[in-house]
């Protein structure tokens, strides 16, 4: 079966019959005459090996952040396979590019689950893409661990029991980051703020959490009655620039994706609206390519020089060793969510070994057990695998943090404050708590 034919078949299934009801038969699957859906009769993954999927953006609006995340998962798989693998076999890794698009994320999840038969998926990054992929993963009993989908919507849905324990994330939700950014803004003397956010789960969820916290501190949201939310597919952003910057607030909280968000801020500058306004950014644009994308003034200075932002920090016990190893292996420094990606893959590997199975059901049953106390605190993934194989209880301590997961799949973390310097470098200048 060619890749082109398979893609066409899967798309036809998605459109005409629904994702779970229409499935191509692979050589290892048996045709069933049961009236139940395949999700109710099919075990995800494989009992005797770990088949691990990845859904992250190698292209699209978030590619500059997504590509190093994929590299860290590659490094985890290389490390584990070099020390004996999982269940006595190398991890079988399958990677898909979601192109920062929900439809592509859904297609990727369908392919990973129905064709590659993975038991777990690391991803996605964009919250909108994770939502699309979860609609396929959960009914098919496949675990998803996101290293970067931070929308508060997932906590709300988990509280309602929608995910049945198949959803986790190693980056804390934006309820925490928004509160941290609100505290940072108020501490800097900002009192009048306008919000400018991408019109999706990530942007709107962050906006609502920020507004709630900032108003409780005593601040004012000047465009609360008519919030500025931009369509990343739009080609012009004149009205969005005026909506956010036109009232001359003390600061604009800009929750963006790089390519489309850069165009919005550049438009605001070209309209002469950014002078005297502090720009506050978030994790979605924490990359040194972003200030260059926004551009320079006629005098040659970066438009974003002096902008501040927050990003989930990495402060795990093994961070220093991980950073050194990543730089040696991949020849680059540690970017946003790189450590979180490594830890997400590590949790799946350790959970599968502990469960003695690579199925989604088995991995789900062990994730919190190996991530949380009590147990022997361990930072090295190979040592962790040896201990759980011997039946020892462990408390994995990641490079990103302690990765203690609550019943809704969330972790709680601290946040680095970063600043855009005049030379375009992003420098961590502080750390804030929610």
- Say if residues 156 and 179 touch (Cβ distance below 8 Å): no
60/259 Cα distance (integer angstroms): 8
The terminus-to-terminus CA distance of the chain in angstroms comes to 51
| Cβ neighbours of 361 (radius 10 Å) | 17
> β-pairing, 167-169 with 415-420?
unpaired
Give the global pTM.
0.83
Q: Which residue has the higher pLDDT, 414 or 388?
A: 388
Q: Is residue 105 within 8 Å of 98, Cβ to Cβ?
A: yes
Q: How many CB atoms lie within 10 A of CB 334?
A: 18
pLDDT band (50, 70, 90) for residue 42? low
Q: Mean of the pLDDT values across residues 148-171?
A: 96
Count the alpha carbons within 13 Å of 198 in the hemisphere toward its beta carbon.
26
Residue 406 pLDDT exceeds 70: yes
Please write the tens of the pLDDT for every residue from 56-67. 999 999 999 999
Mean pLDDT of the residues in the chain: 90
Task: Look at residues 175, 140, 80, 125 and name the one whose alpha carbon lies nearest to residue 406.
Answer: 175
Q: What is the mean pLDDT of residues 269-288?
A: 96
Peptide bond into 124 cis (omega under 30): yes
What is the structure's pLDDT at 412?
Answer: 83
Q: What is the pLDDT of residues 249-263, one digit of tens each?
A: 999 999 999 999 999
pLDDT per residue over 105-119, tens digit each? Answer: 999 999 999 999 999
Cβ contact 310:417 at 8 Å: yes
**Distance from C-alpha of 391 to C-alpha of 389, rounded to nearest angstrom:** 5
Tell me the sheet residues that pair with 255. Answer: 197
Cβ neighbours of residue 294 closer than 8 Å, sequence gap 6 or more: 262, 265, 266, 269, 302, 303, 304
Residues 6 or more apart whose CB falls under 8 angstroms from that of 40 comprise none
Tokens for 152, please give them.
């508060």
Assigned token pair, 206: 């962050």
Radius of gyration of the chain (CA): 22
Question: For 190-234, how does the pLDDT look when each residue is reduced to its tens digit (9 = 90+)?
Answer: 999 999 999 998 999 999 999 999 999 999 999 999 999 999 999
- Of 156, 159, 102, the closest CA to residue 134 belongs to 102
Average pLDDT for 28-45: 42
Q: Could you give the CA distance from residue 312 to residue 309 in angstroms, rounded to a whole number?
A: 10
**315-333 average pLDDT score:** 93
Q: Are 191 and 222 in contact (CB under 8 A)?
A: no
Q: Which residues contact 378 (CB under 8 A, 6 or more apart)?
A: 384, 387, 394, 395, 396, 397
Residue 81 corresponds to which tokens in the numbers above? Answer: 């396979």
The SS3 assignment for 200 reads coil
Maximal C-alpha separation, the chain? 71
- CA pair distance 268, 111, nearest whole angstrom: 41
- DSSP β-ladder status, 415-420 and 308-312: antiparallel
Provide the pLDDT for residue 333: 87
Alpha helices by DSSP H, listed for 160-219, are 174-187, 201-217
Backbone angles phi, psi at 226, to 5 degrees: -140, 70
Run of H or E including 8: helix 3-16
Quote the pLDDT of residue 26. 32
3-state SS class at 222: coil
- Write the CB contacts of 190 (distance below 8 Å, at least 6 apart in sequence): 219, 250, 251, 278, 280
The one-character DSSP state at 312 is E
> Is the pLDDT score of 33 beyond 50?
no
Distance from C-alpha of 7 to C-alpha of 2, rounded to nearest angstrom: 9
């Amino acid at each position: 079966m060619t890749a082109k034919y398979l893609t066409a078949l899967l798309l036809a299934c998605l459109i005409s019959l629904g994702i779970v009801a229409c499935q191509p038969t692979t050589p290892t699957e048996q045709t069933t005459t049961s009236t139940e859906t395949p999700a109710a009769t099919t075990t995800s993954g494989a009992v005797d090996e770990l088949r691990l999927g990845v859904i992250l953006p190698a292209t699209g609006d978030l590619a500059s952040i997504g590509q190093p995340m994929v590299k860290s998962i590659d490094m985890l798989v290389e490390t584990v396979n070099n020390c004996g693998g999982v269940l006595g076999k190398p991890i079988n890794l399958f990677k898909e590019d979601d192109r920062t698009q929900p439809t592509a994320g859904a297609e990727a999840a369908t392919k990973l689950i129905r064709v590659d038969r993975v038991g777990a998926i690391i991803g996605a990054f964009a919250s909108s893409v994770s939502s699309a992929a979860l609609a396929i993963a959960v009914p098919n009993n496949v675990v998803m661990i996101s290293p970067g989908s931070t929308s508060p919507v997932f906590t709300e849905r988990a509280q309602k029991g929608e995910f049945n324990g198949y959803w986790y994330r190693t980056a804390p939700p934006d309820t925490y980051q928004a509160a941290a950014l609100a505290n940072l803004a108020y501490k800097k003397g900002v009192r009048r703020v306008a919000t400018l956010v991408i019109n999706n789960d990530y942007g709107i969820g962050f906006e609502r959490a920020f507004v709630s916290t900032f108003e409780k501190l005593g601040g004012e949201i000047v465009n609360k009655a008519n919030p500025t939310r931009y369509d990343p597919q739009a080609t012009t952003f004149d009205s969005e620039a005026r909506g956010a910057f036109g009232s001359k607030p003390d600061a604009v909280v800009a929750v963006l994706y790089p390519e489309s968000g850069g165009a919005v801020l550049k438009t605001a500058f070209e309209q002469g609206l950014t002078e005297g306004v502090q720009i506050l950014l978030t994790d979605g644009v924490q990359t040194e390519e972003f200030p260059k994308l926004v551009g320079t003034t006629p005098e040659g200075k970066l438009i974003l020089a002096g902008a501040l932002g927050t990003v989930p920090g990495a402060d795990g016990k093994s961070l220093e060793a991980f950073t050194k190893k990543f730089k040696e292996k991949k020849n680059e420094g540690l970017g946003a969510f790189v450590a979180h990606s490594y830890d997400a893959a590590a949790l799946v590997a350790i959970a599968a070994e502990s469960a003695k199975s690579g199925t989604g059901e088995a991995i789900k049953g062990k994730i919190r057990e190996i991530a949380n106390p009590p147990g022997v605190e361990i930072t090295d993934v190979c040592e962790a695998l040896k201990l759980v194989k011997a039946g020892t209880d462990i408390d994995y301590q990641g490079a990103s943090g302690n990765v203690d997961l609550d019943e809704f799949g969330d972790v709680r973390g601290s946040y680095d404050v970063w600043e855009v310097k005049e030379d375009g470098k992003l420098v961590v200048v502080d750390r804030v708590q929610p």
